[in-house]
């Protein structure tokens, strides 16, 4: 099933919007360009000729998603009372990257390790910058990584390695 592209494409759009909005208020042109970009990524992913993938290990997948939700909640529980909102986006980005790592086992595809490692690296390196650059780097980096992941998995990877949810 090709609909898997909707999840990373949609979250990639969210990350990109949040990254651009950290730099300056979004103009209608930037918003429109990002929406067109998301539509293009989704269209390429859906029309790339990829059929249904092999079954995946749902237990590993579900545990990874549960761990991600817990991790995001912990970031919010600690960062909000400590009045550190600029740490939220990079730390959540690192958690998103971490939750990709078990997907390599769930889908038997090491591409998830690369995407997860890149997401972790970009997000943690964003912590080295002052705000608002921190949010911009985490947002733009995360969005680009997710969109490139969709495009690479859709256009370059073997048919039997395309994730299916």
Give this prediction's pTM.
0.87
The rounded distance, in Å, linking the Cα atoms of 165 and 7 is: 10
Angle between helices 88-100 and 58-79 (to 10 degrees): 170
Q: What pLDDT does 160 receive?
A: 47
Chain centre distance of CA 157? 18
How much is the pLDDT for 163?
A: 52
Q: How many CB atoms lie within 10 A of CB 43?
A: 12
Q: What is the DSSP string of 61-91?
A: HHHHHHHHHHHHHHHHHHHTTTT-GGGHHHH
DSSP-derived 3-state class of residue 36: helix
* pLDDT attached to residue 54: 61
Per the structure block, which two tokens stand in for 14?
Answer: 């969210």
pLDDT of residue 138: 97
* pLDDT above 60 for 53: no
Q: How confident is the model at residue 80 (pLDDT cuts 50, 70, 90)?
A: very high
């Amino acid at each position: 099933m090709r609909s898997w592209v909707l999840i990373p494409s949609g979250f990639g759009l969210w990350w990109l919007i949040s990254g651009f909005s950290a730099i300056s208020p979004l103009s209608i042109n930037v918003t429109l360009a990002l929406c067109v970009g998301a539509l293009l990524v989704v269209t390429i992913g859906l029309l790339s000729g990829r059929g249904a993938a092999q079954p995946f290990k749902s237990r590993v997948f579900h545990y990874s998603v549960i761990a991600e939700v817990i991790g995001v909640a912990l970031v919010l529980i600690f960062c909000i009372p400590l009045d550190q909102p600029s740490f939220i986006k990079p730390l959540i980005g690192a958690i998103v990257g971490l939750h990709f790592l078990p997907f390599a086992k769930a889908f038997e595809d090491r591409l998830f390790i690369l995407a997860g490692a890149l997401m972790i690296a970009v997000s943690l390196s964003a912590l080295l910058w002052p705000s608002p650059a921190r949010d911009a780097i985490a947002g733009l980096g995360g969005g680009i990584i997710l969109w490139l992941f969709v495009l690479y998995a859709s256009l370059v990877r073997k048919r039997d390695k395309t994730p299916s949810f």
